[in-house]
Chains A and B, each alone.
Chain A
């Protein structure tokens, strides 16, 4: 066998591909489900926290800042292991996919909060003044005038960050979530061949390259033109 044939046989064995692509596809489904859920809850929570911070309530702010700092400093895997293996001993038993979703959502929320908050404070003071001068209250001004602008400002840095965090769904394999990597490594140890692993890698690439490309497009489109 030449080196090339050996390479193909290791990573692209046709029989393996045929046998294991259904389970990889299953993994893709799980990955997409969890990633989507993480994006929705993470961004919503981040938005909420940033809006809350605008009210400048001292205690609230301190709590938010601590929450955000801790989740931005901690490797997600540490939090995952802590919650998945630790909580059952105090009586709280969460399924693995819930733990994965929870940790990744909180991490995304933390990053999103910082990005939205930066957007809020960089909105010109004149916007607040104009709105308040027409009789709009603080909350109304925040909701209809400031947040829309903050969100627009936040889209470019947020797309990158969101993609990076959703890729961490691969960490679910460590606690047994049936996503792509888990299916791939199981198949690999079962079959003694690395083809399923390559299939898994390709599945991720096929899944995320369009997302990364879309992210690039979103960034250029949302280069905000100020009035």
Chain B
């Protein structure tokens, strides 16, 4: 059951075309992993899905709603598509709890008590119940990213998009974030992940997509992509990553 369908997606920045026609489907409960060299358009693809970048052409359909249609209420769509950024983007002037509950209060219009309860449970879900009243500047990189994940989860999304969630973290802290993502997977969340963490892909992904130069070159189960890729470009990329 495809929950996300991308069809013929193109994106140009001025004269340079970054996405050259992407067709992709993500099924419910699937964890789809996107890999590729830098500049291949992976992040741009993710950002086009919620229209943080406006696609130049093509359509995105999510949970039956055409996201790319002009009339679509983006606020509603974005509530059900969670996004986690490489640089966390936590609000520095609010506590962890404040970060998580802001949208609950403003977008879902929940009362403070209810919002706080939901916020605390979201933080507990990422193992940071005791850091609810800490400010981002008091948290490690890994903890900040986990708060960012809790912030995305608090709105009860139908899919979570991860844009290089561990690339900005010190190696020791990566594990804590990955374990939260594994947890999420086990709970049945649909996830679309752009990342270099290949071991995680091998263990947890249902499908791996290899992108290069604005196009999807190859996709398939992790065993195929990592051990037995069809395309030479895929082979070359995977070979240089797996040491």
Interface residue ranges, A against B (CB under 8 Å): 124, 126-127, 129-137, 140, 144-145, 148-149, 152, 224-227
Q: Are B75 and A137 touching (Cβ within 8 A)? A: yes
Q: Are B137 and A226 touching (Cβ within 8 A)? A: yes
- Residues of B within 8 Å of A129, CB to CB, are 52, 83, 85, 89
Question: Is B165 interfacial (CB 8 A cutoff)?
Answer: no
Count B interface residues, CB 8 Å: 30
Partner of B102 from the list A124, A134, A224, A227 (CB cut-off 8 Å) is A134
- Residues of B within 8 Å of A224, CB to CB, are 92
Interface string of B65-90 (1 = CB under 8 A from A): 00000000001101101110101111
Q: Are B89 and A134 touching (Cβ within 8 A)? A: no
Given contacts A130-B89, A133-B83, A227-B92, 12 further A-B contacts (CB under 8 A): A129-B85, A130-B83, A132-B78, A133-B81, A133-B82, A134-B152, A225-B137, A226-B92, A227-B88, A227-B135, A227-B136, A227-B139
Which 9 pairs, one residue from A and one from B, show the smallest C-beta to C-beta distance?
A: A227-B136, A130-B89, A134-B103, A126-B89, A135-B79, A133-B83, A227-B92, A135-B107, A135-B78
Question: Is B106 interfacial (CB 8 A cutoff)?
Answer: yes
* Docked CA distance A136–B76 (Å): 10
* Docked CA distance A127–B99 (Å): 11
Contacts A130-B90, A134-B79: A227 and B107 contacting too (C-beta < 8 A)?
Answer: no
* Docked CA distance A122–B1 (Å): 43
Q: Which B-chain residue is minimally distant from A130 (CB atoms)?
A: B89
Q: Are A134 and B78 touching (Cβ within 8 A)? A: yes
Interface SS of chain A: helix
Interface string of B90-104 (1 = CB under 8 A from A): 111100000000110
Contacts A129-B52, A136-B106: A152 and B79 contacting too (C-beta < 8 A)?
Answer: no
Q: Are A135 and B85 touching (Cβ within 8 A)? A: no
* Docked CA distance A126–B148 (Å): 12
Q: Are A136 and B83 touching (Cβ within 8 A)? A: no
Q: Are A134 and B155 touching (Cβ within 8 A)? A: yes
Q: Are A135 and B75 touching (Cβ within 8 A)? A: yes
Q: Which A-chain residue is minimally distant from B144 (CB atoms)?
A: A227
Question: Is B50 interfacial (CB 8 A cutoff)?
Answer: yes
